[in-house]
Amino acid sequence: MLNNRFFFLLLFSLFSFLGNAQKDRKEIPLKNILNIISKQHEVRFSYIEDEIVVYALVAPEKKWSLEQKIEYLKRETKLQFKPVSEKYFTIYNDQKLDKPLCGFLLDSESGKGIENATIRIEKMSFITFSDAEGHFIIPKISSDLIQIEHQGYESFNINPEDLNVPNCPKFRLKSITQSLDEVVTQRYLTTGISKKTDGTIEVKPKKFGILPGLIEPDVLQTMQQVPGIISIDETISNINVRGGTHDQNLFLWNGIRMFQTGHFFGLISAFNPSLAQTISITKNGSSAFYGESVSSLVDISSRTKTVEATNNSFSTNLISAEFYTKLKVSEKANLTLSARRSLTDFFKSPTYRNYSDRIFQNTVITDLNTNEIVDYQSDVDFYFYDITAQFQQKIGTKNELNIDVIAIENTLQFNQSSVSLNKNSTLEQENFGGTIQWKTQWNAKHYTEFKGYFSSYDLNSSFKTLESNQVLDQKNQVLDTGFQVRNSNVISNRITLNTGYQFNEIGITNFDEINLPFFSRTITNVLLTHVAVAEGVLETENKKTFLKTGVRANYFDKFNFFLLEPRVQFNQALTSTLRLEILGEQKSQTLSQIIDLQQDFLGIEKRRWTLANNSTIPIQKSNQVSLGLSFKKNNWLLTLDNFYKKVTGITSSSQGFQNQFELEKTVGSYQVFGSEFLIQKSFNRFYTWLSYSYNDNQYNFDALLNTSFPNNYDITHAISWAGIYEWQKLKLALGTKWHTGRPITTPTTFSVTAANPDIVYNSPNNSKLKDYFQMNFSASKDWKLTEKITLQTSVSILNLLNTQNSLNRFYRVNTADNTVESVDTYSLEMTPNFNIRLNF
């Protein structure tokens, strides 16, 4: 019995050894095997190189017969061996493949394409990258393994014969759950938006899913879906983040500060949605490398890490048309061009008419400020455009050069006429900027970046009154120039140290001139700023702890003083499903927007940029801290953030008062206590979310009669909901927005005396408008027309229920009967829009 067991074990070990020996024998290209067989059996094989080059396998045993060897090769490769004669064979692939190898790389969870994955052939210099849909193509040049790598996904290898099929196969990649770019969740609100451990919200427009009311990934409309971000007047030129004003947000495009963010005077983003690659939105805890904002940071980058293949797109909707092209001018260089222009000056669509009615309420065009009935007509001619050009050049293996240029313009011309009079008025708004960036990756642990930039903003208007010969000319000009040096050193696998220096010079000019009676005023201010930055990043190997601390040291040359601004971002995994987040920052800004008169710049663009003088207009400073928790499990996501924010140095002229403080010039502060909550759930193709925000936002102006009262931008309660369905290339989204009305100041009585026609008001912001409610809908569908051409169609309906919401209310005196009238600005009516995009 013992001998039988010993014999069995010996026999099993022998077979295992032989099996492993066979398995461990080295695979060699099929072409080499055919050459060996040809010599062994004195036969010849005829074949097409492309049909066999991808195969590599273990050579058959030398002692096998010719027939056994051919059967073995047929079984392993699925190729056909047809005998032409006794010593001559033809080898062919009966699937008739005549195209190169190809495949798709998809995210294992969302099914979305993985862009910029590296595809290389082992032992060869060939390398390529996947496109926005995850598609890649490689030539049939080797039987070596194909290596797939991406920083956010697990690497793996593909046998080339696995790609040698009629249709491009799909490979699903698993994301790296513990990666350097750690995220709280990959899908935040919709596909293509994620929340990172440093507190930022990151948007990838090319992977963007769909949001209610949007036909394309408009960055400034998208950010309003994030809890704590709202626009109280529906415009993207008045975005309020945690109770701040729009000018307290820093908007960057490839490192260029943008002073104009909207087209159509705030209803459309000024940034071409076809262009952006990555958008980072930070409400608190921004990096020490960013200054000049006491509220949020919106950093838009349209650069790519790799040189991409040539691709183009063209799209149009009921407002504008745009094109985008990226040209691969060499193996190491890309040239990218984009342009968008409105159709409004020769095509008056229903969408345009609704937008026009919304913007031109309560302005000089509708003449609501006169108490006389004048028989005149207004002819409005309006258009906008934006243009960008980018050049990317890889120099060697360590250096890269980027040059970017952007131009944005709005132009409004209107003619007012009566029987005997005819007057033309104009308003032009332009932002032009450029940057040059040089990056050097000295080695795996040392990185340096140099950047020089400029941004020029011009706002010009000429208003000619119909009833008189008075002409009012106004200008607001900003010139922002500077350079930055940034250095990054990896100290260990846990610690990274970032340091830098920044220099900035900014000048602002404001000009006013009236012909009757003659008055002219020009005010110019210039400020130089030097900044030193130090920042450390700690991240444990298990990715449970993330800590970034930094300090920004500002020196203001004109005022001769330093200002230190500490920053902190901390994220800790408490359990596998629960994370704690603590963010804090001190920030400042020297630029702000003020309103001298509500009718400045024709009453449409009332704000003008101005520079701090450290007295009547001080440097604004903010302190903010937040404590948050996030829970993620079984496709559930819950986030809760509680924050405190205080901003000092604000002027009453920057807050848009239209009550007893409209003409006051004083300095104060505001402070906000708030909470933001989001609950989100995914059900395969359907997912939904609900968000809630609470703000208690109070002013404090010591010089005013009422020192403390509600902020003009105090939206106490805000709720948003959306339900989104995605199936293959079809996407549907329905959502609602509700929030309490904005504060207003009511008169004590609705009548005045001729001797004293001034309005007597109650205490400031003593009342609120009615609650705001809006329902929006969007749908999109992608169509694959050919291998390289796709068509994207989308439709949206804003204010689906055509709800009339009052966005603002101010009061004026009607001298005809000595009464006080209320004038409301209403929300956009039900407005459809559609977009057609062709990618090729």
Instruction: Express each pLDDT in 101-158 by its tens digit.
Output: 888 898 877 778 888 788 887 766 667 788 878 888 887 766 678 888 886 777 788 8
pLDDT at 757 over 90: no
Beta strand spans in 4-74 (E): 27-29, 44-46, 56-58
Picking from 40, 64, 92, the residue at the C-terminal end of a domain is 92
- What is the mean predicted confidence (pLDDT) over 236-265? 93
CA pair distance 346, 363, nearest whole angstrom: 23
pLDDT value for 24: 44
Which letter does DSSP use for residue 59 in this model?
P
Q: Assess whether 167 and 306 both reside in one domain.
A: no
Q: Assess whether 27 and 123 both reside in one domain.
A: no
Is 281 within a domain? no
pLDDT at 15 over 70: no
Q: Among 28-32, 76-80, 355-359, 568-572, whose mean pLDDT is lowest?
A: 76-80
Q: Assess whether 666 and 624 both reside in one domain.
A: yes
pLDDT value for 722: 95
Is 556 within a domain? yes
More confident residue, 747 or 130: 747
Q: Assess whether 83 and 137 both reside in one domain.
A: no
Instruction: Kindly give the pairing relationship between strand 717-727 and strand 229-231.
Output: unpaired
Q: Using CA of residue 277, residue 283, residue 286, residue 289, what is the dihedral sign?
A: positive
CA pair distance 483, 505, nearest whole angstrom: 9
Report which residue type is found at 752: V
pLDDT value for 12: 38
pLDDT value for 418: 61
- The answer to whether 630 touches 546, Cβ cutoff 8 Å, is no
Is 424 within a domain? yes
- What is the mean predicted confidence (pLDDT) over 419-442? 87
Nearest to 436 by CA among 505, 471, 389: 389
Helix 30-41 / helix 66-77 crossing angle, nearest 10 deg: 170
> pTM for the full model?
0.79
Burial class (CB in 10 A: 0-12, 13-18, 19+), 15: exposed
Q: Assess whether 105 and 86 both reside in one domain.
A: no
Name residue, tokens 């040239």.
335
Position 752 confidence tier, pLDDT thresholds 50, 70, 90: confident
pLDDT tens-digit readout, 657-693: 999 999 899 999 999 999 999 999 988 789 899 999 9
Position 98 confidence tier, pLDDT thresholds 50, 70, 90: low
pLDDT at 23 over 60: no
Tokens (6 digits) for 366:
């509708």
Position 420 confidence tier, pLDDT thresholds 50, 70, 90: low
CA dihedral 242, 244, 246, 251 (to 10 degrees): -60
pLDDT at 556 over 90: yes
Centroid of chain to Cα 516: 47
Range(s) of the domain holding residue 152: 101-173
Is 239 within a domain? no
Q: Assess whether 718 and 749 both reside in one domain.
A: yes
Position 99 confidence tier, pLDDT thresholds 50, 70, 90: low
- What is the mean predicted confidence (pLDDT) over 528-555? 94
CA pair distance 334, 390, nearest whole angstrom: 8
Beta strand spans in 108-248 (E): 118-121, 127-129, 135-138, 146-150, 153-158, 170-173, 183-185, 193-196, 201-203, 229-231, 239-241
- 17 Ramachandran zone, left/alpha/beta (phi>0; psi -120 to 50): alpha
pLDDT value for 348: 86
Other C-beta atoms closer than 10 Å to the C-beta of 324 total 22
Position 185 confidence tier, pLDDT thresholds 50, 70, 90: low
Three-state DSSP class for 543? Answer: coil
pLDDT value for 422: 65
pLDDT at 7 over 50: no
pLDDT value for 6: 39
- The answer to whether 455 touches 433, Cβ cutoff 8 Å, is yes
| H or E element that contains 52 | helix 49-52
Is 243 within a domain? no
Is 46 within a domain? yes
Count of the separate structural domains present in the chain: 3
Cα distances from 522 to residues 4, 479, 519, 588, in angstroms, run 109, 16, 11, 27
Q: Assess whether 42 and 149 both reside in one domain.
A: no
Q: Assess whether 164 and 301 both reside in one domain.
A: no
- What is the mean predicted confidence (pLDDT) over 425-433? 93
Nearest to 635 by CA among 557, 687, 710: 687
Q: Assess whether 39 and 154 both reside in one domain.
A: no
Q: Among 54-68, 182-196, 496-510, whose mean pLDDT is lowest?
A: 182-196
Report which residue type is found at 15: F
For the domain that residue 169 is a member of, what is the CATH number?
2.60.40.1120
Name residue, tokens 């030193």.
532
- The answer to whether 609 touches 457, Cβ cutoff 8 Å, is yes
Angle at 816 between CA 815 and CA 820, to 5 degrees: 55
Position 336 confidence tier, pLDDT thresholds 50, 70, 90: very high
pLDDT at 598 over 70: yes
CA pair distance 221, 199, nearest whole angstrom: 20
Position 813 confidence tier, pLDDT thresholds 50, 70, 90: confident
Which letter does DSSP use for residue 266 in this model?
G
Q: Assess whether 65 and 162 both reside in one domain.
A: no
Which percentage of the chain shows pLDDT scores above 90?
51
Q: Among 16-20, 326-330, 469-473, whose mean pLDDT is lowest?
A: 16-20
Tokens (6 digits) for 678:
């989001």
Which letter does DSSP use for residue 198 in this model?
T
Is 799 within a domain? yes
- The answer to whether 618 touches 584, Cβ cutoff 8 Å, is no
pLDDT value for 125: 61
CA pair distance 270, 263, nearest whole angstrom: 5
For the domain that residue 76 is a member of, what is the CATH number?
3.55.50.30
Centroid of chain to Cα 175: 22
CA pair distance 386, 506, nearest whole angstrom: 23
Q: What is the number of residues in the chain? A: 840
Is 270 within a domain? no
pLDDT at 316 over 60: yes
CA pair distance 803, 814, nearest whole angstrom: 29
pLDDT value for 131: 82
pLDDT at 714 over 70: yes
> What value does the mean pLDDT of the chain take?
86
Tokens (6 digits) for 559:
């005022």
Three-state DSSP class for 740? Answer: coil
Picking from 121, 142, 173, the residue at the C-terminal end of a domain is 173
Q: Assess whether 35 and 106 both reside in one domain.
A: no
Q: Among 70-79, 315-324, 806-815, whose mean pLDDT is lowest?
A: 70-79
Picking from 117, 151, 173, the residue at the C-terminal end of a domain is 173
Which letter does DSSP use for residue 167 in this model?
S
pLDDT value for 10: 39
Which percentage of the chain shows pLDDT scores above 70?
90
Q: Assess whether 491 and 526 both reside in one domain.
A: yes
